[in-house]
Structure 1
Amino acid sequence: SVDDLALAFRQNLQPSLMLTNTLMAEPRSASEFLLGRMGAVLSTVVGTNFGRVSHSRIDDLYTAIDDVQDALFDSCFGIAFVHFARAFAVVLEESVARQREEGDECRRDDAIGSDDETTDSVASVKTWKELQQLQHDRLQIQQELQHSAELDAEGRCSTTTPTVAAAAADAA
């Protein structure tokens, strides 16, 4: 079944995630610190099958990104890494939200005929709040892309490709 296959894939990921977590346990740089947080979040998300506990870990990742981004914005690699980390967090957050929605739909299907509308209204409020957060994150990514293009225009990022500059122009 699809669920069995998904479980097998998650189990195959665990050794790699454990190794990443072990290697990044004592980070020596901002990028190692951020990579360690990304690995920890992915371990939690995969280990809980995209469960509810994943949200607090994803929030921790956003905090870690905010904490180290200034230290990483001094190089093109750092700028790219921050953008990647934010995109990674957004994708994980959307995956967790979708998994929750699928679970909520199954519970609603099981409760057809029930007069309890409280669960549905609470679920829609959570979904709306998640949507607002995702929109905020996307806007912040667009602003950071614009900042990258400005650095490139100033000659501070000599390795920026035309694709990054075009993406920043599209984001503006």
Structure 2
Amino acid sequence: MAAENAETGPLWWTGVAVIGLVFLVLGYGALPVGRDSLVTVEIEAPLPVRRVLVQGSGRNPDNYFTQRLKVALPGNDSAEVSPVRKLLIPEIEDLKRGTVRFLIDPLSRRIYEASLDGRVLLSHIRSAGTRRRNAFIAMLVGLFCVGVGALGLAPVARTGEKTPARPES
């Protein structure tokens, strides 16, 4: 009986606000890095590229193909890098000769730009734009959850101010 009468409203609103804060932090962390902090890696063709199907789970499975490529990053022996989510580098799997230049974020191991002999195959603007859009969506969801949580907790805060102090005995 005591569990049925317990007030769980503030706990739920606090949980919604905390989830919103988590989305804000994740969205901020997903923002793209500046072009000046990317590392340039040049590789001679043919490239060791694998096409991989990434499968999501849940009610709305989000399946997409990505490309994985082994490169030597400064400070690492070799690392597997891939383009930004849901973007593919055209023509790279069938490339027979030439030098491909990549701009790679060494922390997230994402390819932001790929060019072959001066011709851009994947642009930094497109990669960063995709990353920025996903980050802003996550931050918008986070702000919404924080706002809903704050509105839900506002009546609790108002009633807390109006209660008289207990007399000390």
**Bucket of the pairwise TM-score, normalised by the shorter protein:** 0.3 to 0.5
Structure with the bigger RCO (C-alpha within 8 Å, sep 6+) is 2
Structure (1/2) with the larger helix percentage: 1
- TM-score by length of structure 2 reads 0.35
Structure (1/2) with the larger strand percentage: 2
- TM-score by length of structure 1 reads 0.35
